[in-house]
Structure 1
Amino acid sequence: MKPAVPKKPGKIETRLSMAVLAVLVAIGVGVALRQFRISAAVLALRPESLHEEAGSPADQAPIIDLKESGMVPFSPPEHFTPDTLYEKIDGRADLYLGAGFVSLATQRFAPDHARDRWVEVFVYDMGRPQNAFSVFSMQRRETARTDRQLPNAYRTENALFMTRGPYYLEWIGTDGAPVLQEQIGILARRFSDTHGGADAAVAPGASLFPDAGLSPDSRQLITANAFGYEQLDNIHTAGYLIHGVHLTAFVSERKNADAATALADSYRQTLLAYGADAASAPPAVDGVAMLQVFDTMEIVFSRGSYLAGVHEATDATAAAILAQRLAEHLEGLTGPHAPPPQEIGEAEENKEQQ
């Protein structure tokens, strides 16, 4: 028997093999070339690319006025709506959405011809000054220091935070370099001047609290679900130091006196239903209820259209003093001849000195 002779490949098989080999070679070359090609997305993230792109004539107008700041756009503007806010600040979006958020515009700016430092500006349109002040006050850092040139603004090591009218703004620098921080201040003051100036910088609810014992920069506005009680909305709070005791006062202007009285009673009844006890020695103030909630005291009352009280006090005597001052202050606001807020503050200060 003759040994089998290998069959010689036909022309079709040869051509198919060559075609497959050519495809494999092409794929290999493509992969090799791609390894040396930088993605356009990566290039776009490089600072020099951002600088060049933002500086082109086709760019959109910057989100803030850069006049006399020495700053230039360092990135294109970005805009976010309630539906897309989480894309920019995922994890904190609920705070803004719950406070009436309308829109957010952000953009980076850098000193002219500089590429190693920049500031990212966040301009939140919160719809109303009350909403803007709420998110501003609720996020104030414990280590923050009041800005000496801008009312209703504070600074941290590398950033500035402020409100103007319905806007809440954050200016976040890459570092705390004095030159960069001064330029941030110029930008912030320019924004303030072009958005109402000092008139728009007045914090909502500034006249609601007596001055005596008031802790500086302690005021906050809780727009919803204050103290874990759903009915308590638009609650202004302020910190006090009385006889060495830290206290929190709260005030909320309601629709009318009946609404304030009803809410005060509802809050009191709710606390009782959850185990609070009526205090054995309530403050000697008409209509004031003091309740003991575990190891703290809660005081609640109404004056005219205002709901007010003292929250989670650790000292009954100091809480009673604050409740009396707060009640007298609100009576001055609701009386037929209520003096201006500054006169009320002066009266309280004089009383403290006596």
Structure 2
Amino acid sequence: MIGSRRRSQSTTNVWPGYVDALSALLMLVIFMLLVYVVCQLYLSQTLSDRDNQLARLSAQLNELPELLGLEQSKTEALENQIVRLQDDYSTSLKRNDQLIEQLESNREQLMRQTASVEAQAEQLARMEEAVGEKDQISASQQAMILQLSNQIVSLREQLRQIASALELQQQMTDEKEQELEQVSRRLNTLLAERVNQLQQYQSEFFARLRDILAGNENVRIVGDRFLLPSELLFASASAELGEEGRQELDKLADLLLDVSSRIPDDVDWILRIDGHTDMLPINTQRFPSNWELSTARAVAVVRYLATEGVPERRMAAAGFGEFFPVADGTSPEALQRNRRIELKLTDR
């Protein structure tokens, strides 16, 4: 009896431990369910906001064809007006040249006739002087004097008519010059409008490209140019595009095609791609100097964009070697900043 009672008292009761473990497990499950419900609510709200944004973007895209149609109509009207103005300007220039030639011809003729009159007047003066020395004048001499006097009167009348014609010609020339000045002002106004249009597309291209490349901290903006580090596009001492560089250029090509499709054909724009290297010299069989390396990299970017559909006549590639740095010194940071590809949308 005593041994049995001791065995029962020494037996450990484990049920409270089980109950505590089950309680903790239950609380963990409840907490996970709460986290799941909160995540679901946040995800639903996010998807709802995204659907609203997509709906607004779809509405804006539906409005774009109408706006594009209006812009094309305005562009066609401006193009026709420019063609007419250019024709008028060319005609006015031709007419002005003809008037100037005629004026010069009349001036030369007047000078010749004036010289002739002066010569005849001098001959008459000598004759009168000779006649004054004689007491009597023969009939033939009197007839010659009368004839010369009549010729002088006739020449003076011709001179008066020529002077009147020259005055009228000068007046017509002044009027034509005023017309040409007006045509020039109108052409300058239209050209300024075209420049403003290009600046608007430049601003749009600049802003959208900045948004696309905003996630890349290595991309820098200097004025109206985008500076892409060479390491983003090429391996060291190479002009072969890497995979990461191709992805970035794909974004650029899509944006450029979207913007260029709305630029009128008579706006003469290009995308400049400039290659730059650091000051460390290179001398390989393919790249004897930094000139060749920077130029080859710029050409590689142009060729890749051309394969993506960007018109070749709208791009220009140039290599500047190490001669236009954006950072001074020979530190690794300065050398890295100078190794770059610059992009700029501008006029030709």
Q: What TM bracket, shorter-length normalisation?
A: under 0.3
Q: Which has the larger radius of gyration?
A: 2
**TM-score with structure 1 setting the length:** 0.21
**Structure with higher strand content:** 1
**Structure with higher helix content:** 2
**TM-score with structure 2 setting the length:** 0.22
Higher relative contact order, structure no. (Cα contacts within 8 Å, ≥ 6 residues apart): 2
